[in-house]
Amino acid sequence: MKRYLSANCYCRRIFGTKVYKLALSAATSCPNRDGTVGYGGCTFCSAGGSGDFATSNNLCVAEQIEQAKHILGSKGDGLKYIAYFQSFTGTYGDLDRLERIYCEAADEPDIVGLSIATRPDCLAPDALAMLRRLSERTTLWVELGLQTIHPITAERINRCYPLSVYEKAVADLAEMNIHRITHVIFGLPGESFDDMLKTVEFVGNRTDGIKLQLLHVLRGTKLAEEYRCGSFDVLSKEEYLTLVADAVEILPESVVIHRLTGDGAKRDLIAPIWSADKKRVLADLNAVFRGRGILPFEK
Ligand code: SF4
């Protein structure tokens, strides 16, 4: 039997209760889009900077939080939330402005922590100093978009930083005791099952948490053009379920699994269409897990 640590279980351990994530926007940009390190961004990245569920960044933080609670449909008082800044690069740009936004979010009632998504190459000393201050103020998670350890794939998806930068980032964050969540995508063009599981194995020894994500081909992306030309195939549901189960078996039991599958914006999804039914995917995944004796920790 294999046990894994789900985000729900981890949150109950840390906060003593279930915690919901509120997707917010700090109106940042990305150095891989504005020419600082690259142009056009990662080939799979949507116009929303891979944060398609975030609230409108025309609103102030308090308004965004109210709107995100409303979208979640949360009823009643007493629920706890993580303010999640997912879109674009959360440690890039005017750091004073960003720190003000993050502090505002951290100080809102019912917010028990922050989760900030960023690129590993945007963790210079001043950004790390900001994160240190935030981690002294609240519970802080930092999410790193790695996707793959393989340089050929990284080049193909136009990630624009080498693996060594990720390794330095996870080491720097570990020194500050900040919970690190690494994003990995299954189904990137040209990768074999073995390649993907090697990424999981590598990451599993360096991260505190992981998000497993299926590659979505979204309208308006460079990836969509490649897909239309037939230069790669997307994963079938069976392939994805097998990969996730294999990955969970490989990962150390201490690594928090923050996500087993993602959901792209349905209106923009080109492929794989089966992924649009997230409830079905999770139900099928649970059946595969049960069949293999993979169970979440209960507490
Ligand atoms: S680093 Fe993130 S925001 Fe920037 S292009 Fe890549 S996925 Fe999009």
Is 88's C-beta closer than 6 angstroms to any atom of ligand 1?
yes
Q: Which residues of the chain have pLDDT under 70?
A: 49-57, 74-77, 264
Distance of CA 38 from the midpoint of ligand 1 (Å) = 10
pLDDT tens figures, 68-95:
888 887 555 679 999 999 888 999 999 9
pLDDT at residue 72, rounded to an integer: 81
Residue nearest to atom 4 of ligand 1 (CA): 30
Is 183's C-beta closer than 6 angstroms to any atom of ligand 1?
no
Q: Are 250 and 201 within 8 A, CB to CB?
A: yes
pLDDT at residue 57, rounded to an integer: 66
Alpha-carbon distance of 26 to 24, in angstroms, equals 7
Q: Are 70 and 63 within 8 A, CB to CB?
A: no
Q: Domain segments of the chain: what residues? A: 2-294
Distance of CA 49 from the midpoint of ligand 1 (Å) = 6
pLDDT at residue 219, rounded to an integer: 95
Three-class DSSP category at 92 = coil
State CA 247 to chain mean position distance.
16
Distance of CA 143 from the midpoint of ligand 1 (Å) = 12
CATH topology of domain 2-294: TIM Barrel (3.20.20)
Note the pTM of the prediction, 2 decimals. Answer: 0.96
Is 189's C-beta closer than 6 angstroms to any atom of ligand 1?
no
Q: Which atom of ligand 1 is nearest to the CA of 31?
A: 4
Contacts 24+ apart (CB under 8 A), 10-18: 10/209, 10/256, 12/299, 13/299, 14/139, 15/80, 15/112, 15/113, 15/139, 17/80, 18/79, 18/80
pLDDT tens figures, 123-170:
999 999 999 999 999 999 999 999 999 999 999 999 999 999 999 999
pLDDT at residue 126, rounded to an integer: 98
| Beta strands across the sheet bearing 294-296 | 19-24, 80-85, 111-118, 139-147, 179-186, 209-214, 256-259, 2-6, 294-296
pLDDT at residue 190, rounded to an integer: 98
pLDDT at residue 73, rounded to an integer: 78
pLDDT at residue 47, rounded to an integer: 78
Residue nearest to atom 6 of ligand 1 (CA): 42
pLDDT at residue 77, rounded to an integer: 66
